[in-house]
Structure formats: structure tokens, C-alpha cells
Amino acid sequence: MQKINGYDVVIVGAGSAGSVLAARLSEHQELSVCLIEAGPDYSDIGATPIDLRNAKQNSLNDHDWKHRYEPTAEASPVHFPRGRVTGGSSAVNTAIALRGIPEDYDHWAELGNTEWSWDNVLPKFQRLERDIDYGHKDFHGDAGPILIRRHPWDELSETHQAWWETARELGIPDCPDHNDPNGWGAGPQPMNKINGVRISTAIGYLAPARLRPNLTIRPDTHLVKVNFDSSAVSGVQVINRTRDVEDIRARLVILSAGAILTPGILLRSGIGDSADLERLGVHQIANMPAVGRNLQDHPMVSLTCEISKSDLVSQELPLIQTVMRYTADNSEYRNDLQIELTSWTQRDDIPNAVSLLGVLEQSFGRGYVTFNSSDPFEQPRITPLFCEDERDTIRLRQALNDCLEFTKTGPFGSLTKNVTFNDYELDILAEEQILGLIRTHAKSGYHPTGTARMGPVDDANSVVDQYGICHAVSGLVVADASIMPTVPRANTNLTSIMIGEHISDFISQDTDRYNL
């Protein structure tokens, strides 16, 4: 067991939120900051592998945690990609830069998290972005670390142009800026990429901060647990790149490992449901039944559509270029549905095909993340319980039907043939058969949230307060997608970056609250 000198702040996880926290907190020269990352680190763009730079498609293999999940009660486990590298999932994802809508964050405030209202988080969204197209608008930013742009019409592939023209024929309004707080309709997807390069938090935030003498980046370092002296944090225990076990002292520990892995760290550290801790053989520090519960995501269904022109499908095209956001019939939740067209599929048996994705952006279902042992290398059991709530199934059915309308209408319809849902032709199936297929084949949008939910101390379903401070212990903060009380109606990367900005501001403005 090695002992080393400590830090003021140790941040666990260099992902969408953790890299932001490291960059912002190290702006204060008096604070020593250590950023721990289980995956590798690349010091500049030139040293970064092509799979991380190439924003045309996701990186699903080389920098991945190899998680698997059980989408529904009737489905077999499948791959659940998460980034294992500095930048985290922001370094491997589709580079979609959607914010969510004001109602998402005002709802968080209504749940007792008043610091997270739309009016309070909008300045953080503005600060993180450099919007090439709309930075001059009141609700946008033009000087942040994350570059955002949209594909203009002449950059769209023929299939995306046909899809957008078909949306118009179906009466869907154009939406040139999907980050307009009032926006809905069809239009270009906002993307955090420039010249084909994905602008992850490793590139946008960490790169300018690397030379600061008060910032230490520790890649290839796996967290075992948070150490405590009674109920006060004393530091962390890690397995370093030489496979030695190491204790690192810290005044403040911030967990930014994401909604899948943060619950495991809490459990291994003695914070969680007492029955879970007993089952894992972990000494209890605090009984917090909400750890690992409240898992939310964006369940989705997809149509596979063969394209009649063989030269229109290519993996050299950006995977995503356009999006449609709208409200389900009779729904009280604005923009609770989304349709996306992919430029190609990964099915070798149908090479000349695209996918239409119908995504539920506001779900009622709640799942959980559990672990079978206290081994820090144990894979989590991810159980989102999609379609356990019939209100979700019904809206996914509408999304599937709306996707099908695109394949029967206008320019896009003229390009498509042999349209199937998990190899089934929907037109020959009865309604109950289709609902059964949805319950079996709904998949994740890979936006897990909520497993260490924030809320007032008297909220038994919460783990941290609105400042990210863990209830019942001192010196421990959670700052990642796990604290979101509900999943926003958008891809979660930009909201996770905003969380890093917001909590770093809380710490900077009131160090006493965080015992610094």
C-alpha cells in the first residue's frame, strides 16, 4: 500500500462533467486538483486515435467499458456503450448537442432543487457553448469551449434532404434551431463537431488546462472506493496504472463517473441501501436506499429501411444530420417524442439501408443499477425496465407509426423499400402483436440518468442535495448525470456538461459549503 500527498479536490471520472470540473476548479491557483480516469488520456488532438476524433460515427469498441444491459423484461442482454477515456462518453458519442427544454429544468426546481430552474441553468448552457450559427442570439453563447454547428442544406445527404422534405409534406414545421427554448419540428441536428472532429470535454475543456501546475491528471487509474474517517471523507483508494493499491488523501471528493458507475462507487464506499451493503459485505457508512434506483433513459424503437439507390448509403457520411422533435397525441409533455434518421445501419446482412429511430424523450418507467459484488472491476447489472409503464409503450407505438408514415410519403417514401421493425413487416401484424414487439424490442438511447438523484434532505428518493453534496456524509459531492431527478427531453451530453459548469460555480462561490 503506497501513500502519497493529498489534494484539495479529487475528481473521479474525466467525462462530460468531470473534465469540466477539473478545468474550472483548477482556474483557482490556490486549489490543488487531481482528476482520476480509469481509461487512457491523450495529451492533444494529434495524439488522439481516429475513433475518438471521427465525429461521423460513434466509437463503440476501443474506448468502452463493455457494459451490457437488459432493455426489457423479455429481452436478452445487449451492449451498453460508455466512454472509458478522458472525455468519457463525450469522446465516443454521436456529438449531438441538444439542451433539453425549459420545462425539464423548471420541474427539477419544483422538486426542491431551486438552483436548477431554467433561468438558473441557461447562463451555464450559454457559457459552455460557442454556437457558430446562433451565438448572437440572447439564449445562446458565442465564446465557450464546446463548438456547436448544424449541417446546412447543401451538406445534407440526399436521404436526409428527402426525409426533411417529407416532414414538410406531412405538415411538420421547419425548426432551424432545436436549442431555441420554444423550438419544435424538423431540421438540422445541433452537433458539437467541427471539420469532422468531435469536440469532447477532453478537447474543449481539458486541453487548455493541462499545463496548470495545480492540476494533476491520473489516467489508467481505477477507483476502488471513497475512504472515510467516521462520516467525513478522507480521500480515495485506487488501483493505479502499475496495479498497485494506493490511498490518495483529499479534502473534497467529487464523483463524476456517470449514472452507471457512480452508484457502484457509492456502494463500495458504504453508501447505499443497507440490504445491498450487507449483501455485498461492505461496512455501512450511510443507509441511502435511493442509490442505484430511479434509472431513467430514452427508450426507442427503430425501423430498418432499404434504400432503392445503392449509392446513397455510406459509412463515410455523418451518422446523424437531422432530427424531428414533437409532442405525442394527448400528451401534456411538450416535445416528448423524437424521430431521427441514421445515414446507414450496422447490419451486414442489409448493407444498403438506413434506420428511422422513434425515441421517447420523457418516460414514466424507472429502472435500477445493481452490482453482484464489491469487486471494483465487477460489471454492473443495468435494468432500465423499458415499457413497464403502459404510457411509455403507447407513445412508442405512436413514434413507430409516425416513422412508418415517412416511409410511405413524399421523397423519402420513394427512396425506401422493405421496411421492417426487427425483421417484421408491420403492415401484416395485428395491433397487439406490434405492442408485444415494442415491449420486447425497445432499446436504450444510451442516456442513463437519475441513479443518485438530487433533492432535499427529507426526500427519501434523493442521494445528494441541490449543490451535489451527499446527504449524511461530509466532503463528498456527486456531479454527473446520476443527479438528474428526471431525464431531460434531449440527449444528455450537453446537460451533463452544464452540471459540471453549475457545480463548479457552486464550489467556487462558496468554498465553505464544501469544506475547502
Q: How confident is the model at residue 459 (pLDDT cuts 50, 70, 90)?
A: very high
pLDDT at 71 (0 to 100): 84
Q: Are 157 and 321 within 8 A, CB to CB?
A: yes
Mean pLDDT of the chain: 96
pLDDT at 115 (0 to 100): 99
User: Where do you find CATH 3.50.50.60 in the chain?
Assistant: 2-92+200-295+447-514
466: closest CA among 443, 483, 487, 486?
A: 483
Give the model confidence (pLDDT) of 13-51 as tens digits: 999 999 999 999 999 999 999 999 999 999 888 889 989
Q: Which residue bears the cell 471494483? A: 376
CATH superfamily of 2-92+200-295+447-514: FAD/NAD(P)-binding domain (3.50.50.60)
pLDDT at 1 (0 to 100): 41
| CATH code of domain 151-188+299-362+387-441 | 3.30.410.40
SS3 string, 8-72, reads EEEEECCCCCHHHHHHHHCCCCCCCEEEECCCCCCCCHHHCCHHHHECCCCCCCCCECCEEECCC
CB proximity list for 489: less than 8 A, separation 6 or greater:
100, 101, 103, 104, 325, 333, 334, 335, 336, 361, 362
pLDDT at 427 (0 to 100): 87
What is the rounded average pLDDT of the residues 126-140?
A: 97
What is the rounded average pLDDT of the residues 233-257?
A: 97
Q: Coil, strand or helix: which one is 250?
A: strand
> What are the two backbone dihedrals, phi and then psi, of residue 429, each rounded to the nearest 5 degrees?
-105, 150
Find the helix or strand (DSSP H, E) in which 283 lies: none
Give the model confidence (pLDDT) of 292-319 as tens digits: 999 999 999 999 999 999 899 999 999 9
> Taking 80 as the threshold, does the pLDDT of residue 456 lie above it?
yes
Alpha carbon separation from 261 to 37, 44, 69, 384, 473 (Å, rounded): 12, 26, 13, 15, 19
Q: Are 337 and 354 within 8 A, CB to CB?
A: no
Q: How confident is the model at residue 5 (pLDDT cuts 50, 70, 90)?
A: low
Q: Which three cell numbers stand for residue 353?
A: 439501408
What is the rounded average pLDDT of the residues 81-92?
A: 97
- Better-predicted residue by pLDDT, 12 or 350: 12
Which amino acid is located at 44 in the chain?
D
Which amino acid is located at 279 in the chain?
R
User: How is residue 473 annotated by DSSP?
Assistant: S
pLDDT at 76 (0 to 100): 84
pLDDT at 3 (0 to 100): 47
| CA end-to-end span of the chain | 27
Q: Are 14 and 86 within 8 A, CB to CB?
A: yes
Distance CA 217, CA 34 (A): 6
User: Where do you find CATH 3.30.410.40 in the chain?
Assistant: 151-188+299-362+387-441
Distance CA 25, CA 298 (A): 32
pLDDT at 453 (0 to 100): 99
> What are the two backbone dihedrals, phi and then psi, of residue 248, each rounded to the nearest 5 degrees?
-120, 120
Whole-number percent of the chain with pLDDT over 90: 92
User: How is residue 379 annotated by DSSP?
Assistant: P
Give the model confidence (pLDDT) of 361-370 as tens digits: 999 999 999 9
Give the model confidence (pLDDT) of 315-350 as tens digits: 999 999 999 999 999 999 999 999 999 999 978 888
DSSP sequence for 488-514: -SS-SHHHHHHHHHHHHHHHHH-GGGG
pTM: 0.97
72: closest CA among 392, 395, 335, 293?
A: 392
pLDDT at 235 (0 to 100): 98
What is the rounded average pLDDT of the residues 211-223?
A: 98
Q: Coil, strand or helix: which one is 386?
A: coil
Distance CA 131, CA 120 (A): 20
